[in-house]
């Protein structure tokens, strides 16, 4: 302790717990900084986890690039796939057919259920090169031979479907036939195709797990009467963050009527909204630190009033204004350091047990605090970004130091005579 500068030595001495009102204010200030830092770390890490998890789910179910045409009918898709594959960044290319259909269940007992779903036709031999769908099976197999389909876990749970159940699928062509049958005297009544559930997939994103049906490319072409055409190509590249630049390279090698979109284009509005929400949450929650800083300021103002005579003695002994200021700035810095590090530990601890806390609250209250139907994730995601943690800790510490500037400046400008005359 003797080797410490006397400013820091006095600051530590003044901060010793003495069961006074000032000590209580100091403790409250530390707790305020701790809670502010912890809440900021928890919220920003969860928001970052949302963003990263969403990107992983999108890239696991969808491709990095989608190549199509203005009329969504690619007739020369094999030649187009060959051209796209020549790009050095392209790792896989596969055709697809995508559209909405009407699905009817065939239960053994009870009334059948109707639901509009997205149907995606894929080539099973190529699908593994552009998505992780083939590795996301939780029941059955990824078998699309004949009239077999693969459905999402959310869809299966909603309609209580299992492997081996059969579904009727009404395509857009059937709707057109119904429309003609209303006015024609001798019109054919459309008969829907019968499909068997061969497997159930789960990619971890509720929208995909509850809204998609996967079938073979041939079946999808028949349903949409595409013959030997497809709706487009799915393209996997080596770095999804470079999708925009690779799109430009691929576009130069294709005809002018080619339409190329990236995975960021497909989810642009949602990702932008998430980024804005993260920034807004950061600024709003940082006001907690401002409140804690006011607590530090009030504590230091009280310290200055209590220690006015001691300040006069120090100045009479030759202490400079800056040395007096450093005593009280050191106090605010020490309070900030204690609060920041304790908040860092509390935040990291809370993040480690975030899902256990949610499960406990669900059991105790019976309320689902994190509904999968709304947030599209089964568990609360989290991603700790070191730069965010450093920004939060340094910003919080800076706020604590700035809060001590005014009381320290007032203490430093006291005149020795006036300070010694104070009651």
- Give the span between the Cα atoms of 267 and 205, in whole angstroms: 13
Helix (H, G, I), strand (E, B), or coil: what is residue 199? strand
Closest CA relative to residue 90, chosen from 227, 225, 247, 198: 247
For residue 224, give the DSSP letter.
Answer: T
Q: What is the pLDDT of residue 331?
A: 80
Domain boundaries, the chain: 6-56+270-421, 71-256
Q: Which helix (H) or strand (E) holds 231?
A: none
- Calculate ∠ Cα 36-42-44, nearest 5°: 95
- Give the span between the Cα atoms of 174 and 189, in whole angstroms: 9
Helix (H, G, I), strand (E, B), or coil: what is residue 315? helix
Structure tokens at 247: 């799109």
Per-residue pLDDT of the chain (423 residues; tens, 9 = 90+): 446 565 666 666 666 655 555 567 778 888 888 988 998 899 889 888 888 887 887 788 888 899 998 888 888 889 999 999 999 999 999 999 999 998 988 877 778 888 889 999 999 989 888 988 888 899 999 999 988 999 998 899 888 889 989 999 988 877 777 766 666 666 666 677 889 999 999 887 778 888 999 999 999 999 888 888 999 999 999 888 888 899 999 888 887 788 888 888 877 777 777 778 778 888 887 887 777 778 778 777 777 777 677 777 776 777 777 777 787 788 888 888 888 999 999 999 999 888 888 888 778 877 776 666 666 566 788 889 899 899 989 988 888 888 888 887 877 777 766 656 655
Task: Report the DSSP beta bridge partners of residue 261.
Answer: 66
Q: Hunting for tokens 């000032």 — which residue is that?
A: 22
Helix (H, G, I), strand (E, B), or coil: what is residue 292? helix
The pTM (predicted TM-score) of the whole model is 0.70
Q: What is the pLDDT of residue 420?
A: 62
- Residue 308 neighbours by CB distance under 10 Å: 17
- Compute the half-sphere exposure of residue 182: CA atoms within 13 Å on the CB side of its CA: 5
Q: Radius of gyration (Cα) for the chain, nearest Å?
A: 33
Alpha carbon of 267 to those of 55, 210, 258, 263: distances in Å?
Answer: 9, 18, 20, 6
Q: Please check whether residue 404 is in contact with residue 333, taking contact to mean a CB–CB distance below 8 angstroms.
A: yes
Tell me the Ramachandran region of residue 241: left when phi exceeds 0, alpha when psi lies from -120 to 50, beta otherwise.
alpha
Q: What is the pLDDT of residue 1?
A: 45
- Give the span between the Cα atoms of 378 and 100, in whole angstroms: 26
- Give the span between the Cα atoms of 175 and 421, in whole angstroms: 96
- Give the span between the Cα atoms of 55 and 267, in whole angstroms: 9
Helix (H, G, I), strand (E, B), or coil: what is residue 318? coil
Q: Which helix (H) or strand (E) holds 104?
A: strand 90-105
């Amino acid at each position: 302790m003797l080797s410490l500068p006397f400013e820091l030595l006095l600051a530590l001495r003044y901060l010793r717990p003495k069961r006074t009102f000032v000590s209580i204010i100091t403790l409250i200030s530390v707790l305020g900084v701790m809670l502010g830092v912890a809440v900021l770390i928890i919220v920003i890490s969860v928001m970052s986890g949302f963003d990263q998890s969403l990107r992983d789910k999108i890239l696991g179910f969808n491709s990095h690039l989608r190549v199509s045409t203005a009329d969504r009918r690619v007739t020369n898709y094999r030649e187009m796939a060959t051209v796209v594959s020549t790009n050095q960044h392209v790792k896989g290319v596969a055709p697809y057919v995508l559209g909405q259909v009407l699905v009817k269940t065939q239960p053994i007992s009870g009334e059948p259920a109707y639901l509009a779903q997205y149907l995606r036709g894929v080539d099973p031999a190529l699908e593994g090169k552009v998505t992780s769908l083939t590795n996301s099976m939780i029941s059955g197999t990824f078998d699309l031979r004949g009239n077999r389909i693969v459905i999402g876990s959310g869809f299966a749970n909603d309609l209580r479907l299992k492997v081996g159940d059969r579904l009727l699928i009404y395509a857009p062509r059937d709707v057109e036939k119904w429309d003609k049958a209303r006015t024609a005297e001798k019109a054919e009544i459309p008969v829907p195709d019968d499909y068997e559930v061969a497997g159930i997939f789960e990619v971890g994103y509720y929208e995909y797990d509850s809204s998609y049906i996967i079938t073979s490319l041939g079946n999808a072409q028949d349903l949409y009467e595409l013959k030997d055409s497809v709706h487009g190509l799915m393209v996997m590249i080596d770095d999804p963050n470079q999708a925009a630049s690779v799109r430009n390279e691929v576009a130069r090698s294709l005809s002018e009527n080619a339409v190329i979109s990236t995975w960021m284009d497909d989810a642009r509005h949602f990702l932008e909204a998430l980024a804005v929400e993260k920034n807004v949450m950061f600024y709003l929650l940082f006001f907690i630190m401002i409140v804690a800083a006011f607590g530090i300021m009030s504590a230091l103002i009280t310290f200055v009033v209590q220690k006015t005579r001691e300040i006069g003695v120090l100045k009479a002994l030759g202490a400079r204004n800056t040395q007096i200021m450093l005593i009280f700035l050191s106090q605010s810095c020490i309070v900030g350091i204690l609060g920041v590090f304790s908040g860092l530990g509390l935040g990291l601890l809370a993040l480690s047990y975030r899902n256990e806390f949610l499960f406990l609250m669900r059991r105790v209250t019976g309320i689902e605090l994190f509904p999968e139907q709304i947030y599209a994730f089964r568990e609360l995601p989290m991603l700790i970004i070191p730069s965010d943690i450093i920004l939060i800790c340094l910003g919080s510490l800076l706020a604590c130091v700035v809060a001590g500037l005014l009381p320290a400046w007032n203490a430093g400008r006291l005149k020795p005579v006036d300070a010694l005359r104070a009651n």
